[in-house]
Amino acid sequence: MTSNRRTFAIISHPDAGKTTLTEKLLLQGGAIHLAGEVKARGAARRARSDWMKIEQQRGISVTSSVMTFEKEIDGEVITFNLLDTPGHEDFSEDTYRTLTAVDSAIMVIDVAKGIESQTRKLFEVCRLRNVPIITFVNKVDREGRPLFEILDEVADALALDVSPQNAPLGMGGLFTGVLDFATDTVTRPEGGSKEFLGKREPLGDLPEELEEEIELTKIGYPEFDLEAYRNGDLTPVFFGSALKNFGVEELIEAIAKWAPPPRPQPAGEDEISPERDEVTGFIFKVQANMDPNHRDRIAFMRQVSGTFKRGMKLTPSGLGKPIAVHSPILFFAQDREIADTAFAGDIIGIPNHGTLRVGDTLSEKNDVRFTGLPNFAPEILRRVVLADPTKTKQLRKALDDLSEEGVIQVFYPELGAQHIVGVVGQLQLEVLISRMEAEYKVKANLEPSPFATARWVKGDDKALDEFEKFNRANLARDRDGDLVFMAKSPWDVNYQEEKNPDLTFSATKER
């Protein structure tokens, strides 16, 4: 049986048009009826808690959300699970983790700006995780650049084959439609309104220059090849305008037809197939305090196999005893709805009080452990100094909670009472300070720490004991009590690695 689930993320540089495209995809799926709704709801949601003010100030989206919608394509109803990712380079950890939960991605590029370094980094992560990419070159209603120039740029930046799927007609303000290479039909606007779905018609007469450019494009690039795309060697490129709803239908059809259905997931030496009868899944994100009036906590589970039914008992790997999932949430266009059933590829929100953590596996029989969800070595380390020293308990709670959520990592040095937090990007620190104040009433300052990075240390007991004896001042425990070497410089790491060949120093930790 092939699955009708397509679970994907949209990745882009801020301002490339991700929000607008999301909105149009939802509109296509009939999930929302008014343009602007994603943003409007976003604003309402942001107003709810203090830390999200950062989003407003910076005009970026820090949290990632899940949206599910359906569309009938060639007689089959396809369920799309769209995972939103923050589009800011500072918040890469969250994005990385989201990419562990999807089967494919859409990369949105602003035609005027091309590929920016952040987008390239995301692309590399997709490659590492075997997440194939469909490219959507947005805003072709605005800027006029030759097609092949843009295609060459994409191919160059990503070091892979590009396969153009369509062509915008009359870029540079004269935009009159999108030509579909496969069928030689063109989608034209109806009536000039901004929000239209367009109508397909046979290709009419085109101006000569345009015909030439399109001919060249057809000849110069490889044809689409499903296997190459799924292997991550080729990206089909769609040109369009999210704002004007051009090329969006083609994009959604491409996801339905080409994007991989739910894939097997690595679990140590094994792989768990989506066809497996028992329900399995893993937590890739935990979000606490979504509503400040209720200390609720939603764990986002990517379902890997089985048919989930409401009320079902699942055992989280971190807990060892089963929990009953009475009020699972599916995310239909950001409205919370209680789900009765869910399938491989779906994302389920599980309300809990801190029992579920990022990286946890959930399974019916407690016989599976998914792997490949790393903790990244922090690049910025800071000491946490309390403004009010009587609040140490609240501080510890806040740091534990927020590290569990993946906002920060926390390290408790073996010597001394100071707590050290580690992050991959600066923005995480601002989120930390602001959430500690808003949600835990803890005022704290961050001061420079003597450390530059951290490594998880592993080895046999004897070697570890020896190492601990000599390096106590540079050792800490993470939230799980695992040993971490706090290094003053990368040189320090190299030195210790050479000196202690029996130990491993790793920059990531499987969660």
CB of 265 to ligand G4P, least distance (A): 29
The CA-atom distances, in angstroms, between 234 and each of 160, 228, 475 are: 6, 5, 45
Does 160 bind ligand G4P (CB under 6 A)? Our answer is: no
Kindly tell me which of 177 and 281 has the beta carbon lying closer to ligand G4P.
177
Q: Do the strands 409-413 and 419-423 form a parallel or antiparallel pair, or are they unpaired? A: antiparallel
CB of 22 to ligand G4P, least distance (A): 8
Residues 6 or more apart whose CB falls under 8 angstroms from that of 134 comprise 104, 105, 106, 107, 229, 235, 236, 238, 251, 254, 255, 258, 259
> What residues between 363 and 382 interact with ligand G4P by CB under 6 A?
none
Does 18 bind ligand G4P (CB under 6 A)? Our answer is: yes
Do the beta carbons of residue 503 and residue 464 sit within 8 Å? yes
Kindly tell me which of 168 and 359 has the beta carbon lying closer to ligand G4P.
168
- H helix or E strand, kind and range, residue 203: none
Structure tokens at 6: 């397509």
Kindly tell me which of 105 and 395 has the beta carbon lying closer to ligand G4P.
105
- H helix or E strand, kind and range, residue 92: helix 92-100
> Rounded to 5 degrees, what angle do the CA atoms 338, 101, 96 make?
125
CB of 33 to ligand G4P, least distance (A): 18
- Please provide the size of the chain in residues: 511
Stretch that binds ligand G4P, among 65-73, 241-249, 310-318, 339-347 (CB under 6 A): 241-249
CB of 139 to ligand G4P, least distance (A): 4
Which residue in the set 9, 11, 16, 431 belongs to the binding site for ligand G4P (CB under 6 A)?
16
CB of 169 to ligand G4P, least distance (A): 15
Kindly tell me which of 142 and 276 has the beta carbon lying closer to ligand G4P.
142
Kindly tell me which of 111 and 424 has the beta carbon lying closer to ligand G4P.
111
The CA-atom distances, in angstroms, between 136 and each of 21, 235, 360 are: 10, 10, 33
Does 391 bind ligand G4P (CB under 6 A)? Our answer is: no
Q: Coil, strand, or helix at residue 139? A: coil
> What residues between 119 and 158 interact with ligand G4P by CB under 6 A?
138-139, 141-142
Stretch that binds ligand G4P, among 235-243, 280-288, 363-371, 418-426 (CB under 6 A): 235-243
Task: Show the site string, 211-230: x = touches ligand G4P by CB under 6 A, - = not.
Answer: --------------------
Do the beta carbons of residue 391 and residue 344 sit within 8 Å? no
CB of 12 to ligand G4P, least distance (A): 5
CB of 227 to ligand G4P, least distance (A): 31
CB of 110 to ligand G4P, least distance (A): 8
Does 20 bind ligand G4P (CB under 6 A)? Our answer is: yes
CA torsion 350→355→356→358, rounded to 10°?
A: 150
Q: Catalogue the E-assigned strands of 296-343.
A: 297-305, 307-309, 313-316, 323-324, 329-332, 335-338, 341-343
CB of 100 to ligand G4P, least distance (A): 22
Q: Coil, strand, or helix at residue 301? A: strand
Which residue in the set 67, 242, 424, 486 belongs to the binding site for ligand G4P (CB under 6 A)?
242
CB of 270 to ligand G4P, least distance (A): 38
Phi/psi-derived region of residue 63, left when phi > 0, alpha when psi is between -120 and 50, beta in every other case = beta
Does 24 bind ligand G4P (CB under 6 A)? Our answer is: no
CB of 247 to ligand G4P, least distance (A): 9
Tokens 């009159």 — which residue? 176
> What residues between 70 and 89 interact with ligand G4P by CB under 6 A?
87
**Spatial distance between the Cα atoms of 413 and 486, rounded to a whole number of angstroms:** 9
One DSSP character per residue, 31-62 reads S--STTHHHHHHHHHHHHSGGGHHHHHHT---
Does 306 bind ligand G4P (CB under 6 A)? Our answer is: no
**Spatial distance between the Cα atoms of 255 and 73, rounded to a whole number of angstroms:** 10
Kindly tell me which of 18 and 285 has the beta carbon lying closer to ligand G4P.
18
Kindly tell me which of 14 and 144 has the beta carbon lying closer to ligand G4P.
14
CB of 304 to ligand G4P, least distance (A): 29
Kindly tell me which of 21 and 288 has the beta carbon lying closer to ligand G4P.
21
Structure tokens at 293: 């009036």
Count the site residues for ligand G4P by CB under 6 A. 17
**Spatial distance between the Cα atoms of 200 and 429, rounded to a whole number of angstroms:** 50
Q: For binding to ligand G4P (CB under 6 A), which residues are involved?
A: 12, 14-20, 87, 138-139, 141-142, 241-244
